[in-house]
Amino acid sequence: MGRVNQTATANAEEFGFHEGDLVQEWLWDDDVDDGIRAGIEELTGEDLVDEDYGSAVDGVIIWWRDGDDEDELSDVIVDAYAVLGQDGPLWVLTPKPGRPGAANPNTVQSAAKTAGMNAATPLTVSADWNGVRLRAFGKGR
């Protein structure tokens, strides 16, 4: 079990989150990777807050699956970015290809563009999930 927690914490660091950061989670459902969630909470020392949290946050993760509406994803990205302070990390997490709910990479790219964001190349963040970091147009890498 220690190895799993170390891996989850290492992945949380790759997200760009830091100790004390408040991270908001959007579109949670039963299929999310609890290892990712636990790793972020362990690294930051804070519980994840849900999309109803009304104050500024230091980072965002959005769980996205195939079959969800692309326009809704654009709206969620805009809403999440609005509460994100200091241009903190914003990630869209999708099931990996071949897994239930795997999203077409073009869907995330298109929704990000519609929301005024650039989408990076997907990264593996767990055995079943990929992550795509988004940045506002004109922001450095």
Most confident of 4-8, 22-26, 70-74: 22-26
Q: Do residues 79 and 54 make contact, with C-beta atoms less than 8 angstroms apart?
A: no
- The pLDDT of 24-34, averaged and rounded, is 94
First-to-last alpha carbon distance for the chain, in angstroms, is 34
pLDDT of 2 strictly over 50: no
Q: Say how far apart CA 139 and CA 122 lie, in whole Å.
A: 18
Task: Please report the pLDDT score of residue 67 as a whole number.
Answer: 79
Torsion angle (degrees, nearest 10) of CA 71, 86, 96, 107? 20
pLDDT of 138 strictly over 90: no
Q: Which pair of tokens denotes residue 38?
A: 């636990």
Q: Say how far apart CA 26 and CA 125 lie, in whole Å.
A: 17
Task: Please report the pLDDT score of residue 141 as a whole number.
Answer: 45
